Amino acid sequence: MEQAEAADLIARIERAFGSARDVTPAPDQPLHVLMEEVVLPDAWSPNLTRALVIWEGWPEARPRFLIDEQVRGEGGEPPRSNDLVYVLGEGWRQFSFSFPWVGDDPVVAVQKWLERFSVESS
């Protein structure tokens, strides 16, 4: 991704979600954006949390979305069908969530992923 394109994407995410910064580990890597103030529905705890979005293959493919490993639903369980993965020196939780992806709006892509937390509590 070109530098200007990445800067625009980060600015749009920041405007929409309150925080976003580039944490890409190396120049040749896909853009990694850390969102430090993601708000989840009340059923999730903590409901103000961090997410890491990796824009690999963007915009042909949806971004990879990872959530802080501490996030739990009402039953104390993390999102169903999940794995812990090691990214940027710590564990993040990835989870299965299907949605058709057509488009090139990064804000919509993040909103789609966040819908996972609205449909059920775990």
Q: Which residues bind other proteins (CB under 8 A)?
A: 25-26, 28-29, 69, 80-86, 88-91, 94-96
Q: Is 2 helix (H, G, I), strand (E, B) or coil?
A: coil
Name which of 122, 29, 36, 28 is nearest 78 in CA terms. 122
Cβ at position 70, least distance to other proteins in Å = 9
Minimum CB–partner distance for residue 38 and other proteins (Å)? 17
Closest distance between other proteins and the C-beta of residue 13, in Å? Answer: 20
Beta bridge partners of 61: none
Per DSSP, which regions of the chain are E strands?
Answer: 21-22, 32-39, 48-54, 64-68, 82-87, 90-95
Q: Which two tokens stand for residue 114?
A: 């966040």
Residue 49 Cβ, how far from other proteins at the closest point, in Å? 15
Q: Which is nearer to other proteins, 99 or 105 (CB)?
A: 99
Q: Which CB, 45 or 82, lies closer to other proteins?
A: 82
Question: Which residue, 46 or 91, has its beta carbon nearer to other proteins?
Answer: 91
Query: Cβ closer to other proteins: 12 or 69?
Result: 69
Whether cis (ω within 30° of 0) applies to the bond prior to 41 is no
